[in-house]
Chain A
Amino acid sequence: MSLKRSAAPCLALVFLLGTTLAAADHPSSVNPTSNVVAGANGEAVYSHICQGCHMPGGQGAVGAGHYPKLASDPALVSWQYVATTVLGGRNGMPSFGTRANGEEIFGAATLSDQEVADVVNYVRSHFGNTYKEKVTVSQVAGLPHPGGPMNPASTVSH
């Protein structure tokens, strides 16, 4: 793995995790057999990534802290809130948006704007949520993305 192409803070992560083949520099080539999410629908994105924390059925979980329950969640009334959270992360939740400056963060996972739109529509219409309005890929593209301006005018109200 090319250390020279990593930004300084990433170096520490590379050190931590050791060297592996093709991991950081070629995320698309890492995983020839389980690349299930590419071009997939919202359900696939949810079940392969989101449910790691938010759990199958959107039930959330409680330990020393908690993962928010998405099932029957009134906060999901705002698609902007959901999409902004997926794109930019919130507290310990990593950001999933494609970085506006093209930077690749070691260890991060990235969803396309289409995948973000799909998964937002999925959670807002499942698990007891019945919001009809569908967010489009261009609406997602208009929201702040990680690595972009911090507080654009289009910032969400909720």
Chain B
Amino acid sequence: MIGTTAGAAAMYQAMSSLGYAAESPYQGPIDLQGTPKGASVVVLGAGIAGMTAAYELRNAGYQVQVLEYNSRAGGRNWSLRGGDRYTELGGATQHCEFDEGLYINPGPWRLPYHHRGMLNYCKRLGVPLEAFVQVNYNAYLHSSRHFGGKPRRYREIKADYQGHVAELLAKATQQRALDASVSKEDQERLLESLREWGALDRDFAYVASDSTSARRGYQKHPGGGLTARPIPSEPVGLADILDSRLWQGIPAGDEIDMQTSLFQPVGGMGRVGEAFGRELGPLIHYNAKVIGIQQDPHGVTVSYEDTTKPGATLNARADWCLCTIPLPILAQIPMNVGPKLATAIGKVPYASAVKVGLQFKRRFWEEDDHIYGGISYTDLPIMNIGYPNTGYHSSGKGVLLGAYIWGRNAMEFTAMAPQDRVLKAVEYGSQVHPQYHKEFDNGVAVAWHRSPFTMGCFGMWTAEARAQYYDDLCRIDGRIALAGEHASYIPGWQEGAVTSALDAIGRLHQRAVAEGAKA
């Protein structure tokens, strides 16, 4: 009987099937009760989805084994630190030479406050969090073709854009252009709010003043003593802002996934995968390359090779299989599933993305530029420069995310040798921070299409593909269920991996309980 024992799982499934919720559907730990004695699951992949599933299934009394291709737990949840080696597809090996305590996260790097599934596992696994800075008002917006190629501060562009728009709207109001849509009374309130929102003066003009400089920064900041008198700064003209397109960077923190607060694990995102790996211990078989998945009426047999001892085929057998293998790889593994699932597996191309970590001899972005954490945006191919949201004000070396690239730029970076990606990131980044050339120390570059364990960054769904194949991808086929960010409406986010894993094991559990009742 399924009865009430699977109630939580069923409810969870119903909630998550609504899909596309603005916030994560995670509602608390899953409650799997009534596990049949001796029931077993083989989990493929020790990334966030696989380890979420393995952790919960083990706690529910299943016999669990996990097969993982890498020699470490975490999958894309991963931090590269000094002493680490990484060999990409094609054979190039990088030795990370960062100083003690410094790292980059080649994959995910931030946890929105409402990704409650991820946050909950961090808490249960004892992974401490700290703030991730999404919007830093003193970081840069940079156009290589405007303002002489010099970066502008986010606060300048935001204050000036907002101020000019407020002034225009105030003028339109005063010139009675809004009479048809805004009542007389509301026009007064609107004007009052525009003055406050845009830091306008008493005549509703956006001009150099104490109040505008308090937002965009002064030419000379107020201080103490005889040299204290501040000098207001001159706003950038509206036409220059519009022409430069730097306004595109203003809403960087406005979407719900980017709104304050965000978090990062202390010591690197990889701490989550490492903690899961410790928790699951001997349940995970590392260096296991899956080469076949065959189900029959009684269970699933997964054949695999130990990549440290090639030549022999090993088998893992269980009642059920939860498969989190990224789709480009899964599409190449012989597997006896129905045509709908088999088709769906081949319909999700994976996005290209590249991250470059650069170590510098000193934290010049803090010491010279007063940028503490956050992100600068540029129209150069490196697209983003991410500053470390930790270790502020420390002396010694520091590591920047020197590039976070996707789309065609990422493909072009992927096609380069790793050391060339690093050199290119230094070359482009020096247009934003001229200190790069003098201070550069060493770097590592991860191109996700060269990742041996994913062959891409994340599942890139189109609307048509979702409509045609998504449900088929997520439905249980016999004794096999898929999970991972690719089986979610939160592609590329770890919360998609967590919620898809919980959804899938909830449904597998119902079947296991039903089968156990028949037996």
Which A residues are within 8 Å of any B CB, using their own CB?
A: 1-3, 7-9, 12-23, 25-27, 29-34, 36-37, 47-53, 55, 59, 61-67, 89-95, 105-110, 147
Which residues of B have CB within 8 Å of A47?
415
Which residues of B have CB within 8 Å of A29?
379
Query: Of the 9-residue stretches B203-211, B363-371, B452-460, B474-482, which lies at the interface with chain A?
Result: B452-460
Q: Are B449 and A3 in contact (CB under 8 A)?
A: no
Q: Are B408 and A61 in contact (CB under 8 A)?
A: no
For B454, the closest partner residue in chain A by CB is: A64
Bound CA span A109–B500, Å: 28
Q: Are B453 and A12 in contact (CB under 8 A)?
A: no
Beyond A21-B141, A32-B379, A49-B412, whether A64 also contacts B406 by CB under 8 A is no
Known: A22-B248, A52-B352. 20 other contacts (CB 8 A): A3-B251, A16-B458, A17-B406, A20-B248, A20-B384, A22-B245, A27-B408, A30-B408, A33-B381, A33-B428, A37-B412, A52-B411, A52-B450, A62-B89, A63-B453, A92-B349, A92-B455, A94-B460, A95-B349, A108-B407
Which B residues are within 8 Å of any A CB, using their own CB?
A: 20, 69, 89-91, 134, 141-145, 245-246, 248-249, 251-252, 255-258, 289-290, 325-329, 331-333, 345-346, 348-353, 375, 377-381, 383-384, 404, 406-409, 411-412, 414-415, 428, 447, 449-456, 458, 460-464, 466, 489-493
Beyond A53-B449, A61-B89, A107-B407, whether A21 also contacts B377 by CB under 8 A is yes
Partner of B348, one of A12, A37, A63, A92: A92
26 A-B Cβ contacts within 8 A? A1-B248, A1-B251, A9-B466, A9-B491, A13-B491, A14-B255, A17-B406, A18-B252, A19-B258, A21-B143, A21-B249, A21-B379, A27-B408, A30-B379, A32-B380, A33-B428, A49-B408, A49-B411, A52-B352, A52-B447, A53-B450, A61-B91, A64-B325, A91-B328, A92-B328, A107-B460
For A99, the closest partner residue in chain B by CB is: B462
Shortest CB distance B500–A (Å): 13
Q: Are B332 and A16 in contact (CB under 8 A)?
A: no
Partner of A107, one of B20, B142, B406, B451: B406
Which residues of A have CB within 8 Å of B325?
64
Which residues of B have CB within 8 Å of A30?
379, 381, 383, 407-409
Beyond A22-B245, A49-B415, whether A65 also contacts B409 by CB under 8 A is no
Shortest CB distance B317–A (Å): 21
Q: Are A9 and B463 in contact (CB under 8 A)?
A: yes
Which residues of A have CB within 8 Å of B328?
65, 91-93
Q: Are B141 and A64 in contact (CB under 8 A)?
A: no
Q: Are A31 and B381 in contact (CB under 8 A)?
A: yes
Say what secondary structure dominates the interface of chain A. Answer: loop
For A25, the closest partner residue in chain B by CB is: B248
Which residues of A have CB within 8 Å of B491?
9, 12-13, 16
Which residues of B have CB within 8 Å of A63?
69, 89, 329, 451-453, 455
Partner of A108, one of B91, B248, B329, B460: B460
Beyond A34-B381, A52-B414, whether A15 also contacts B409 by CB under 8 A is no
Say what secondary structure dominates the interface of chain B. Answer: loop
Bound CA span A36–B408, Å: 11
Q: Are A19 and B248 in contact (CB under 8 A)?
A: yes
Q: Are B456 and A92 in contact (CB under 8 A)?
A: yes
Q: Are A52 and B383 in contact (CB under 8 A)?
A: no
Bound CA span A27–B404, Å: 16
Beyond A9-B463, A15-B258, A22-B245, whether A67 also contacts B383 by CB under 8 A is no
For B112, the closest partner residue in chain A by CB is: A15
Beyond A18-B384, A92-B328, A94-B352, whether A27 also contacts B407 by CB under 8 A is yes
For A63, the closest partner residue in chain B by CB is: B452
Beyond A52-B352, A65-B332, whether A21 also contacts B378 by CB under 8 A is yes
Which residues of B have CB within 8 Å of A32?
144-145, 379-380
Bound CA span A10–B407, Å: 13
Which residues of B have CB within 8 Å of A65?
328-329, 331-333, 455
Beyond A52-B449, A65-B332, whether A19 also contacts B251 by CB under 8 A is yes
Which residues of B have CB within 8 Å of A36?
412
Bound CA span A18–B246, Å: 15
Partner of A109, one of B381, B383, B407, B493: B407
Q: Are B492 and A91 in contact (CB under 8 A)?
A: no
Q: Most chain-A CB neighbours within 10 Å: which of B90, B245, B491?
A: B90
Bound CA span A51–B145, Å: 30
Which residues of B have CB within 8 Å of A18?
134, 252, 258, 375, 384, 404
For A14, the closest partner residue in chain B by CB is: B255
Q: Are B248 and A12 in contact (CB under 8 A)?
A: no
Partner of A91, one of B346, B377, B414, B447: B346
A-B pairs with lowest CB-CB distance, top 5: A92-B328, A63-B452, A52-B414, A65-B329, A109-B408
Beyond A31-B408, A33-B144, A52-B447, whether A67 also contacts B455 by CB under 8 A is yes
Which residues of A have CB within 8 Å of B333?
65
Bound CA span A94–B451, Å: 16
Bound CA span A32–B380, Å: 7
Which residues of B have CB within 8 Å of A12?
489-493
Shortest CB distance B147–A (Å): 13
Which residues of A have CB within 8 Å of B462?
7, 9, 105
Bound CA span A36–B447, Å: 19
Beyond A9-B461, A34-B381, A91-B332, whether A19 also contacts B252 by CB under 8 A is yes
Which residues of B have CB within 8 Å of A59?
90
Beyond A23-B407, A32-B145, A53-B449, whether A92 also contacts B331 by CB under 8 A is yes
Q: Most chain-B CB neighbours within 10 Å: which of A52, A90, A92?
A: A92
Partner of B415, one of A31, A48, A106: A48
Partner of A20, one of B257, B383, B489: B383
Shortest CB distance A9–B (Å): 5
For A66, the closest partner residue in chain B by CB is: B332
Which residues of B have CB within 8 Å of A14?
255
Which residues of A have CB within 8 Å of B349?
89, 91-95
Q: Are A22 and B379 in contact (CB under 8 A)?
A: yes
Which residues of B have CB within 8 Å of A66?
332
